[in-house]
């Protein structure tokens, strides 16, 4: 007997060891109803419910409230003293499309040429990227990997941060058309790029017309152009253009151009957005802010100027979301960017919205995620406090009701080497 | 004795007076045109502040024979009437690169091509007609010419700007040495690549020059010793040092100026500093050096404000510099420093800029002295240059008025008794002319106005008048044309005429190509054009700021005798832990007492901090801010001779921003390009002070090292692998050990060839001896382990691993060895060697017992170190330990925990008052104190911002006013 215990322990350690060194195992679909009870529910859309209950069935939230009937056979998760938040949404990242940015072979972000509307981000979303579980266990449960680089870079997709294949992980494909407004640094190359962009839209319109004529029998046969085919939802206003414009001259040029083209427009940028906040509000253009943490743009500005763009947009009435750090490894920093805006004046509730419901609305996925509401995906997290506090620990995350393995590379290696030091009794 | 000897040599070398061929063979006919001139009725400024009106100057064969009001004009003199003219001594340009060819295929005497102390400007001198003409046109008659390529680039000479053979232009050959801290790309792009590398090379070369002399002395005494190398560069430098030759140091800003003084003091150099025009920014410090300064007269053009976007990019610093730079010469003069001027870098704007400097306060006597007597004295040529008196060289300026007034012109410059016409003798056709004869034009009045460059005019005949459609001078002929219809004639008349004094003799072509002759007499002389109206603007009252930029302070914040902070939550990071509702008394910049209900000393400043937290000032043990001219010396793999203290620049708005984030101390590091990089600096954020004032002098000295990807990345440089990195480090440490032994032997015995002082090996030796900390940039466990073993083999302890991403994998080894870990909270996967970075690194290291700190390696991140600490709490680190990561632990690492890092009686009063829990993401500093001085205050910051806004607006509107005025003038 006395000799068996060490052996069992050894076997157990080997077993644990092997799970430590493996990647996180995707969770199976939700089997039975789940009731999370006793926690403080931050619905984002309908206020805070103390001592509330969330019922999850078949991956969906079926009930939320203080007095909710729990279905028979539900697994009960006691969340007393805990907080429940919707999963965070990173609206613009390279997660899944790159592993180590300096290694070109590990990176799929930019296709050749300037006009790539047909590119679909999700097909290169690498399910076993080590960075995906890191995002998940840190509460970033929906991400929007976005092709970059070219003038029309392609279509980002909204992805869940858990699953066996990219297909399983796709929450919604084609959430927008990524356009990079050209730089004004060199006037002649700027002019050339603008002409090329215009030409692409004109050509796509002519293509759409010819195809519609063909389909209605009023025109001759017209073969497919895979590029312009991808543009049709954009031209119909069904798919927003996500126009990246950092400099205020770019922003104003993009505003005018997309309005002239009659496009459903979202602007993507940072500091200079606050100068034109009133114009954005007047034209009702939403904004994806790519990062808040940073110094001022100009030497004469106050030390905190960089953090104030979200506050200025909020005050002007612009709908915006914050899309933290685009690096794949740093998706977990998403809430810090929102938090930094709160540190410098943005109301905390707005900070939270900027990484949840507002991101969902801007990217057209608010029917599925972004808040804790009946009918939405049960993509939520249980924490010991606000995700905007950097010290907050996340106990458990759920994606579509699936209880996600809370192992990621960080805690896996930590446990692994803790064992090394435990063996040495350190 | 030596000086006297030199003086005699130089006196003999100076070619006295006019330049005639003494040894060259005379081919063909001899020339004996008399060279005797008497300039009469002139206002003669004989020297600064001395003017003789209506006086006469007599020169003979290039030498002044007589000067004064009662001078007998020699019978053989050509008399030139100078009524209305002013004569000045010719200017001397103190810092020119004149007549020295670009180095080409030069043989390298020294191993480093930047060291050319042997270079003779006299031997290489070739008069340059274009350059001398340009300099003459601005009043210069002689220059101090210095070779510009290299750090120690060779001998300077004084040359005349006359014409003729090189031999005859040299006034004083090879008697200064040129020193610069900016390498010349013309001499190659290798070591040194950075500012700190240039300083190191200059210092090493100075020591080498000393060694060179000693080594050769030893060898002459004992020919059986190993023969030392022959090196003309070191020989020249050694000689120059022994002879106290002046070193002319180029200082590209006020900080380099002060650095140059430090180097000069280290080596006892006699230096003159060529300034930058930025000295006003640190006038007191510059004044205290007492060194002669050579000032360029270049002023920045106004920043581009053409569009609002461009205007947004303009800093207050740039605006202030635009406004204040023209006051720099007057401030230097008022500071009482010996000042000479140079046209170097001014192109042909020298006189214009100088006149602007005069408008902005420079006294005319001071300006003239800086161009004449002062340079002549410094250059030792006062006997013949710098003023006008009997026996001096006839090199002088003739101007049409006060040379320092904007509207005056230099008309002629005489050098060695030879005239150079500066203002072109453009014949002046302006005035009123009465036409005689010619196709019905008799009695017409031609009225010509404008400037001599751009004439305009009218012709009037019997009260009918028309504008001339063409009027200009061509080859001393007046050319004009007009439409004759409006005068009652027909067609276009085209006319030209020879201009003599007051008479025109011309031909014309009238209607139907009828050619005719005409003439005219001037009935009214040329009227001087109204000078462009320069409305003198009221001077702007700009506040003094240190640094001269946004958020700069008029003076250092006061160190109040007693400050009592009450009712705060105090994170002592000492044995007292976190004290709730506690008080802290600060006295004379030190923490005096911590406790409850401390009685306020009389006159104490009391801060009620109820609901607020007080922590030690945050410390970032790894940033690269405030380092000028390159963070890496990439010219070699082992560059321990470089010192961050040589290139610190605290005039950086980030110092203020760091204070706003609660940072009070930091380590400034050399980059990670080299296995052994450079020596770091440990500073406090004493915003506004010069680099020396920022330093914490008793911090443990350190040496930056680096392992892994960065050091093997440099193409064509050993090492290219981690294995090679180990070997080159081992080799360097071994070399240091052997060096130490050799030096010791030599110091003991003093026999044989001296062992050269080696600035590269000395700091490595200090590391081995434990007097200097090795801060080792590393990512992977294998390289860290390697370094531990190397250190153990050489018997020292690694100070820290910087970044140490995989430290958690060998925390046990670090603990056992005693190395500290300086890590990030959450950086990982940005390159291959960082792939295994984990959030729990600090947690595991700390738990195992390794001295662990956080760092930023990024100035922006450094402003939010409390967030970095809070992130580690997610992995289970306690709040006290998390706070230690950014206060006490880095203080221990840097060897400053005896003065800062925790709030304990006796330590420096470096602390932050937070508006909430310091680990909350939402908390920010209300106040940041260093040494009991409040350098940041949230409310005062708002006032400062408003001041910055107002000051920018004031300067921008001044620029726009000036530009509008200039546009109006152009339109007229």
Over residues A261-286, mean pLDDT:
95
The answer to whether position B823 is within a domain reads no
- The first and second tokens of residue B618, run together, are 């945050």
Statement to judge: residues B141 and B207 lie in one domain? yes
A300/B952 Cβ within 8 A: yes
In this complex, the residue of A100, A294, A418 whose CB is nearest that of residue B844 is A418
Q: Could you say which of B421, B456, B486 is where a domain stops?
A: B421
DSSP B491: S
Whole-number average pLDDT of chain B: 93
Q: Could you say which of B493, B524, B555 is where a domain stops?
A: B524
Residue A339 contacts B, CB cutoff 8 Å: yes
Instruction: Classify residue A230 by burial, with Cβ atoms within 10 Å: 0-12, 13-18, 19+.
Output: buried
Task: Please give the ipTM for the structure prediction.
Answer: 0.92
Statement to judge: residues B123 and B165 lie in one domain? yes
Counting DSSP H helices and E strands in chain B, the numbers are 26, 42
Statement to judge: residues B520 and B409 lie in one domain? no
**CB neighbourhood size of B637 (10 A):** 22
B867/A340 Cβ within 8 A: yes
All residues at 6 or more sequence positions from B541 whose CB lies less than 8 Å from its CB, including other chains: none
pLDDT score, position B534: 57
Measured CA to CA, the distance from residue B843 to residue B869 in angstroms comes to: 11
Residue B721 contacts A, CB cutoff 8 Å: no
In this complex, the residue of A300, A304, A329 whose CB is nearest that of residue B830 is A329
Q: Which of residues 297-326 of A touch B (CB under 8 A)?
A: 297-300, 302-304
In this complex, the residue of B316, B849, B941 whose CB is nearest that of residue A300 is B316
B812/A424 Cβ within 8 A: yes
From the CA of B284, how many Å to the nearest CA of chain A? 25
The answer to whether position B342 is within a domain reads yes
* A228-251 tens-digit pLDDT: 999 999 999 999 999 999 999 999
Total CB pairs under 8 A between chain A and B:
130
Please say whether the beta carbons of A64 and A127 come within 8 A: no
B921/A343 Cβ within 8 A: yes
From the CA of B206, how many Å to the nearest CA of chain A? 39
The answer to whether position B537 is within a domain reads no
All residues at 6 or more sequence positions from B427 whose CB lies less than 8 Å from its CB, including other chains: B473, B476, B499
In this complex, the residue of B829, B867, B921 whose CB is nearest that of residue A131 is B829
The answer to whether position B855 is within a domain reads no
Residue B921 contacts A, CB cutoff 8 Å: yes
Over residues B727-736, mean pLDDT:
98
Statement to judge: residues B411 and B465 lie in one domain? no
Residue A17 contacts B, CB cutoff 8 Å: no
Q: Which CATH class is domain A88-369?
A: alpha beta
Statement to judge: residues B122 and B235 lie in one domain? yes
Band of residue B6 on the pLDDT scale cut at 50, 70, 90: very low
Statement to judge: residues B146 and B192 lie in one domain? yes
Measured CA to CA, the distance from residue B732 to residue B752 in angstroms comes to: 25
Statement to judge: residues B281 and B414 lie in one domain? yes
Residues of chain A contacting residue B945, judged by C-beta atoms under 8 Å apart: 302
Q: What is the CA radius of gyration of chain A?
A: 24
From the CA of A371, how many Å to the nearest CA of chain B? 23
Residue B289: give the domain boundaries: 91-421
* Residue entry with tokens 């006196």: B11
Measured CA to CA, the distance from residue A54 to residue A231 in angstroms comes to: 40
**In a 3-state reduction of DSSP, which class is residue B123?**
helix
Residue A120 contacts B, CB cutoff 8 Å: no
Residues of chain A contacting residue B550, judged by C-beta atoms under 8 Å apart: 299-300
Whole-number average pLDDT of chain A: 93
pLDDT score, position A225: 97
- Provide DSSP, B408-465: --EEEEEETTEEEE-S-------EEEEEESSTT-TT-EEEEEE-SSSEEEEEEETTEE
* B385-414 tens-digit pLDDT: 999 999 999 999 999 999 999 888 999 999
The number of folded domains in chain B is 2
In this complex, the residue of A300, A392, A424 whose CB is nearest that of residue B550 is A300
Statement to judge: residues B263 and B304 lie in one domain? yes
B660/A131 Cβ within 8 A: no
pLDDT score, position B4: 42
Q: E strand or H helix at A266, and its extent?
A: strand A265-269
All residues at 6 or more sequence positions from A3 whose CB lies less than 8 Å from its CB, including other chains: none
Q: Could you say which of B474, B489, B524 is where a domain stops?
A: B524
Residue B938 contacts A, CB cutoff 8 Å: no
Measured CA to CA, the distance from residue A186 to residue A174 in angstroms comes to: 32
Statement to judge: residues B269 and B368 lie in one domain? yes
Distances (CA, A) of B524 to B116, B448, B466: 63, 10, 19
Q: Which of residues 659-718 of B touch A (CB under 8 A)?
A: 660-661
pLDDT score, position B513: 86
The answer to whether position B579 is within a domain reads no
In B222-372, which ranges are continuous DSSP H helix?
A: 232-242, 254-267, 283-289, 308-312, 316-324, 328-334, 350-359, 364-371
Is residue B969 pLDDT above 70, yes or no?
Answer: no
Over residues B442-451, mean pLDDT:
90
pLDDT score, position B5: 47
All residues at 6 or more sequence positions from A134 whose CB lies less than 8 Å from its CB, including other chains: A329, A331, A332, A408, A409, A410
From the CA of B539, how many Å to the nearest CA of chain A? 23
* A25-49 tens-digit pLDDT: 899 999 999 999 999 999 999 999 9
A102/B660 Cβ within 8 A: no
Residue A183 contacts B, CB cutoff 8 Å: no
Residue of higher predicted confidence among A369 and B34? A369
Measured CA to CA, the distance from residue A26 to residue A131 in angstroms comes to: 14
Statement to judge: residues B416 and B457 lie in one domain? no
pLDDT score, position B1: 41
Q: E strand or H helix at A231, and its extent?
A: helix A226-235
Q: What is the CATH number of the domain that holds B401?
A: 3.20.20.140
Statement to judge: residues B453 and B360 lie in one domain? no
Q: What are phi and psi of A342, to 5 degrees?
A: -65, -40
CA A316 to chain CA centroid, Å, is: 24
pLDDT score, position B21: 61
Band of residue A12 on the pLDDT scale cut at 50, 70, 90: very low
Over residues B675-702, mean pLDDT:
97
- The first and second tokens of residue A174, run together, are 């084609």
Band of residue A15 on the pLDDT scale cut at 50, 70, 90: very low
Residues of chain B contacting residue A410, judged by C-beta atoms under 8 Å apart: 838-840
Is residue B311 pLDDT above 60, yes or no?
Answer: yes
Q: E strand or H helix at B761, and its extent?
A: helix B761-769
Residue A418 contacts B, CB cutoff 8 Å: yes
In this complex, the residue of A299, A344, A413 whose CB is nearest that of residue B550 is A299
**B399: β partners:** B86, B410
The answer to whether position B12 is within a domain reads no
Statement to judge: residues B312 and B163 lie in one domain? yes
Residues of chain B contacting residue A414, judged by C-beta atoms under 8 Å apart: 808, 838-840, 843-844, 875
* B897-928 tens-digit pLDDT: 999 999 999 999 999 999 999 999 999 999 99
From the CA of B315, how many Å to the nearest CA of chain A? 6
From the CA of B865, how many Å to the nearest CA of chain A? 12
């Amino acid at each position: 007997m006395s000799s068996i215990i060490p052996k069992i322990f050894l076997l157990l350690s080997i077993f644990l060891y092997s799970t430590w060194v493996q990647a996180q195992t995707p969770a199976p679909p939700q089997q039975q109803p789940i009731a999370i009870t006793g926690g403080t529910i931050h619905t984002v859309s309908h206020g805070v419910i103390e001592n509330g209950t969330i019922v999850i069935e078949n991956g969906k939230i079926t009930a939320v409230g203080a007095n909710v009937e729990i279905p028979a056979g539900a697994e009960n998760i006691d969340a007393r003293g805990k907080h429940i938040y919707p999963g965070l949404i990173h609206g613009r990242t390279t997660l899944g499309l790159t592993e180590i940015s300096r290694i070109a072979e590990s990176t799929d972000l930019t296709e050749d040429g300037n006009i790539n509307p047909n590119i679909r981000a999700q097909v290169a979303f690498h399910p076993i990227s080590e960075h995906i579980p890191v995002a998940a266990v840190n509460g970033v449960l929906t991400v929007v990997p976005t092709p970059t680089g070219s003038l029309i870079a392609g279509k980002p997709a909204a992805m869940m941060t858990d699953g066996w294949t990219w297909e399983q992980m796709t929450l919604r494909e084609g959430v927008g058309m990524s356009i990079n407004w050209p730089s004004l640094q060199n006037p002649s190359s700027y002019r050339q790029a603008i002409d090329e962009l215009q030409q692409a839209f004109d050509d796509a319109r002519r293509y759409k017309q010819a195809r519609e004529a063909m389909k209605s029998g009023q025109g001759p046969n017209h073969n497919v152009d895979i590029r312009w085919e991808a543009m049709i939802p954009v031209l119909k206003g069904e798919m927003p253009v996500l126009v990246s414009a950092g400099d205020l001259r770019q922003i104003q040029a993009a505003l005018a151009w997309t309005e002239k083209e009659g496009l459903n427009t979202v602007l993507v940028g940072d500091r200079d957005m606050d100068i034109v906040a009133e114009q954005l509000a007047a034209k009702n253009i939403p904004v994806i802010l790519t990062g808040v943490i940073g110094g001022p743009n100009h030497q004469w500005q106050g030390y905190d100027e960089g953090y104030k763009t979200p506050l200025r947009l909020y005050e002007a009435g612009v709908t915006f979301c914050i899309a933290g750090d685009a690096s794949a490894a740093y998706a977990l920093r998403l809430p810090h960017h929102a938090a930094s805006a709160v540190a410098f004046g943005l109301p905390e509730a707005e900070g939270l919205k900027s990484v949840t419901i507002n991101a969902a609305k801007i990217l057209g996925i608010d029917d599925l995620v972004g808040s804790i509401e009946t009918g939405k995906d049960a993509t939520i997290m249980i924490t010991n406090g606000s995700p905007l506090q950097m010290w907050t620990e996340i106990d458990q995350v759920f994606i579509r009701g699936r209880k996600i393995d809370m192992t990621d590379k960080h805690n896996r290696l930590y446990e692994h080497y803790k064992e090394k030091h435990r063996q040495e009794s350190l | 004795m030596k000086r006297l000897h030199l003086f005699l040599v130089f006196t003999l070398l100076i070619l006295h007076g006019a330049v005639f061929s003494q040894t060259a063979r005379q081919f063909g006919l001899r020339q004996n045109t008399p060279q005797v001139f008497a300039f009469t009725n002139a206002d003669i400024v004989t020297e600064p502040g001395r003017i003789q009106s209506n006086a006469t100057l007599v020169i003979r064969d290039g030498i002044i024979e007589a000067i004064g009001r009662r001078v007998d004009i020699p019978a053989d003199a050509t008399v030139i009437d100078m009524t209305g003219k002013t004569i000045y001594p010719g200017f001397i340009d103190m810092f020119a690169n004149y007549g020295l060819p670009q180095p080409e295929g030069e043989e390298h005497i020294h191993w480093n091509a930047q060291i050319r102390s042997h270079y003779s400007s006299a031997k290489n001198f070739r008069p340059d007609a274009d350059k001398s003409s340009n300099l003459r046109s601005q009043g210069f008659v002689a220059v101090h010419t210095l070779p510009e390529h290299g750090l120690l680039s060779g001998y300077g000479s004084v040359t005349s700007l006359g014409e003729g053979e090189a031999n005859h232009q040299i006034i004083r050959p090879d008697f200064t040495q040129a020193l610069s801290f900016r390498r010349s790309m013309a001499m190659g792009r290798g070591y040194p690549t950075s500012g700190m590398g240039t300083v190191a090379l200059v210092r090493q070369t100075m020591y080498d020059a000393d060694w060179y002399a000693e080594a050769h002395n030893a060898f002459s005494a004992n020919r059986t010793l190993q023969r030392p190398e022959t090196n003309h560069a070191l020989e020249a430098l050694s000689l120059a040092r022994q002879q106290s030759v002046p070193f002319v140091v180029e200082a590209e800003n006020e900080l380099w100026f002060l650095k140059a003084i430090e180097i000069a003091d280290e080596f006892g150099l006699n230096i003159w500093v060529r300034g930058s025009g930025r000295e006003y920014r640190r006038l007191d410090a510059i004044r205290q050096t007492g060194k002669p300064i050579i000032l360029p007269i270049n002023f920045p053009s106004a920043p581009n404000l053409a569009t609002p976007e461009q205007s947004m990019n303009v800093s207050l610093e740039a605006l202030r510099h635009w406004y204040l730079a023209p006051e720099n010469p007057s401030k230097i003069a008022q500071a009482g420093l010996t000042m000479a001027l140079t046209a170097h870098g001014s192109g042909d704007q020298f006189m214009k800029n100088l006149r602007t400097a005069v408008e902005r306060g420079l006294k005319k006597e001071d300006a003239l002295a800086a161009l004449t007597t002062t340079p002549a004295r410094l250059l030792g040529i006062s006997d013949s240059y710098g003023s006008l008196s009997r026996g001096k060289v006839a090199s002088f300026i003739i101007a049409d008025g006060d040379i320092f007034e904007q509207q005056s012109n230099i008309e002629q410059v005489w050098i060695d008794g030879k005239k150079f016409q500066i203002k072109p003798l453009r014949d002046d056709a302006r005035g009123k002319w009465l036409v005689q004869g010619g196709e019905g034009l008799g009695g017409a009045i031609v009225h010509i106005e404008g400037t001599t460059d751009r004439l305009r005019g009218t012709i009037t005949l019997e009260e009918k008048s028309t504008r001339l459609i063409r009027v200009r001078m061509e080859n001393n002929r007046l050319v004009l044309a007009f439409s004759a219809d409006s005068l009652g004639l027909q067609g276009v008349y085209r006319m030209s005429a020879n201009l003599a004094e007051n008479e025109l003799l011309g031909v014309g072509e009238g209607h139907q190509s009828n050619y005719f002759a005409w003439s005219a007499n001037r009935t009214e002389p040329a009227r001087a054009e109204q000078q462009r109206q320069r409305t003198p603007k009221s001077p702007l009252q700009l506040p003094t700021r240190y640094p001269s930029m946004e958020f700069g302070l008029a003076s250092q914040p006061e160190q109040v005798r007693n400050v009592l902070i009450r009712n705060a939550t105090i994170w002592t990071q000492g044995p007292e832990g976190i004290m709730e509702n506690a008080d802290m008394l600060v006295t004379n910049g030190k923490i005096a007492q911590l406790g409850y209900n401390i009685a306020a000393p009389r006159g104490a400043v009391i801060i009620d901090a109820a609901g607020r937290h007080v922590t030690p000032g945050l410390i970032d043990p790894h940033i690269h801010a405030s380092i000028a001219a390159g963070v890496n010396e990439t010219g070699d793999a082992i560059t321990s001779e470089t010192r961050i203290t040589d290139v610190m620049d605290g005039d950086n708005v980030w110092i203020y921003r760091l204070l706003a984030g609660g940072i009070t101390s930091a380590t400034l590091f050399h980059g990670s390009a080299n296995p052994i990089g450079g020596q770091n600096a440990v500073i406090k954020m004493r915003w506004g002070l010069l680099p020396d004032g920022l330093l914490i002098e008793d911090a443990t000295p350190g040496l930056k090292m680096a392992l892994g990807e960065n050091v093997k990345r440099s193409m064509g440089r050993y090492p290219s692998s981690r294995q090679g990195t180990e070997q080159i480090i081992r080799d360097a440490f071994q070399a240091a050990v052997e060096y130490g032994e050799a030096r010791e032997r030599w110091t003991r015995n003093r026999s044989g060839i001296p062992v050269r002082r080696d600035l590269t090996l000395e700091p490595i030796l200090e590391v081995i001896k434990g007097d200097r900390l090795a801060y080792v940039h590393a990512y992977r466990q294998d390289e860290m382990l390697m370094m531990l073993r190397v250190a153990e083999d050489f018997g020292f302890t690694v100070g820290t691993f910087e970044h140490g991403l995989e430290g958690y994998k060998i925390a046990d080894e670090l603990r056992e060895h005693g190395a500290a870990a300086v890590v990030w909270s959450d950086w990982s996967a940005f390159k291959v060697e960082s792939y295994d970075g984990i959030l729990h690194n600090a947690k595991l290291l700390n738990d195992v017992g390794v001295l662990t700190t956080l760092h930023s390696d990024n100035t922006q991140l450094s402003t939010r170190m409390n967030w970095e600490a809070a992130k580690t709490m997610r992995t289970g680190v306690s709040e006290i330990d998390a706070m230690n990561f950014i206060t006490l632990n880095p203080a221990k690492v840097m060897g400053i925990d005896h003065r800062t890092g925790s709030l304990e009686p006796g330590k420096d009063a470096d602390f932050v008052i937070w508006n909430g829990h310091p680990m909350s993401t939402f908390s920010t500093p209300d106040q940041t104190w260093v040494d009991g001085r409040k350098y940041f205050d949230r409310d005062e910051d708002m006032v400062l911002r408003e001041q910055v806004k107002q000051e920018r607006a004031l300067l921008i509107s001044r620029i726009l006013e000036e530009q509008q005025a200039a546009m109006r003038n152009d339109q007229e």
